[in-house]
Amino acid sequence: MSTGSESTGSDAQVTRESLARRVLVMGASGKTGRALTGALAARGFRVRAAVRSPASTETVYAAGASEVAVLDLATGAGLDEALAGAWAVYHLAPNVHPDEVGMARRVVAAAARQGGQRLVYHSVLHPDDASMPHHLRKAQAEEVVRAGGVPWTVLRPAAYHQNLLPAALAGELAVPYSLDAPFSNVDLDDVAQVAVTVLTEPGHEGEAYDLAGPEVLSVRQMASQASEVLGRRVTAVKTDRRAWEEGPGAALPEGARRDLLAMFESYDRGGLVGGSAWLWGRLPTTWAEAVAAARNTP
């Protein structure tokens, strides 16, 4: 007879009861949110996908969401409704958002009002790196999460392989920072796998995990490896930073542009390298493996 808490067979920690519980995913239509939504759905969890714009509904259903919550992290509108009935919450702020700390405050306060759902916060590798203001905002947001009175876990991912995969497939890695700076990039699908684990299994409360890939590579080395995997030339090109400011950077809000310029300068000095928690039970995905997988994805 089913007790409602027996093993599914594939994973002793995943119970029928937990599968029926909703996980609220913030920023579900973005790069990270889509990967996490897909990973949760693939394991049978119900995802309540939080978006700002109703126009993003189709995107999150395509990623695997079961339901959608429209909310504004910048004002808190819709947060209480979105959290009601959610068993766990994955919080991430939109990329380089100036109000990352305020967003964390609103989410933590709403979770506390609901009685304290499990909260996982998506930070970044080296949040205390003072050369990058958007990293420091994540360090402050982590403090808010730790002090909020709800059960918490923090994930600190390195830069994703996926940031550079489309460019590698297109034959040119063009970046406005040093081609020889070192990076221990991580695969976004590996990050999503760890996120599912810490959201849905016990034993991760009060932990902050760095998540980096298994190797240190420069963009020049990534281009060379991509050439080998794809069997055609992939070049590495350092683009002019002023051209970036006047081109892609000009379309961004001023604060985001400043944050990214500071990041490029920091990358020039030392890239972004770190160790990793080992929560996969296998080696995390290498850059060459990510390129090979992307080549085979329609």
Residues contributing to the site for ligand NAP (CB under 6 A): 27-33, 51-53, 56, 71-74, 92-95, 122, 124, 157, 159-160, 163
Q: Give the residue closest to ligand NAP by C-beta.
A: 30
Judged by CB, which is closer to ligand NAP: 8, or 178? 178
Q: Please identify, using beta-carbon distances, which residue of 14 and 41 lies nearer to ligand NAP.
A: 41
Q: Closest separation between CB of residue 17 and ligand NAP, Å?
A: 29
Residue (148 or 187) nearer to ligand NAP, CB: 187
Q: How far apart are CA 236 and CA 171, in angstroms?
A: 9
Cβ closer to ligand NAP: 212 or 234? Answer: 212
Min dist. Cβ of residue 215 to ligand NAP (A): 16
To ligand NAP, the closest distance from the beta carbon of 27 in angstroms equals 3
Q: CB-wise, 72 or 289, nearer to ligand NAP?
A: 72
State residue 7 phi and psi, 5-degree precision: -65, 145
Count CB atoms within 10 A of the CB of residue 205.
Answer: 12
Query: Minimum Å distance from CB 232 to ligand NAP?
Result: 25
Q: Dump the DSSP string for 136-172.
A: HHHHHHHHHHHTSSS-EEEEEE--BGGGTHHHHHHTE
* Angle of the 133-146 helix axis to the 254-270 helix axis, nearest 10: 100
Write out the E strands in 226-272. Answer: 235-238
Question: At its nearest, how many Å lie between ligand NAP and the CB of residue 77?
Answer: 9
Residue pair 144/108 in contact by the 8 Å Cβ criterion: yes
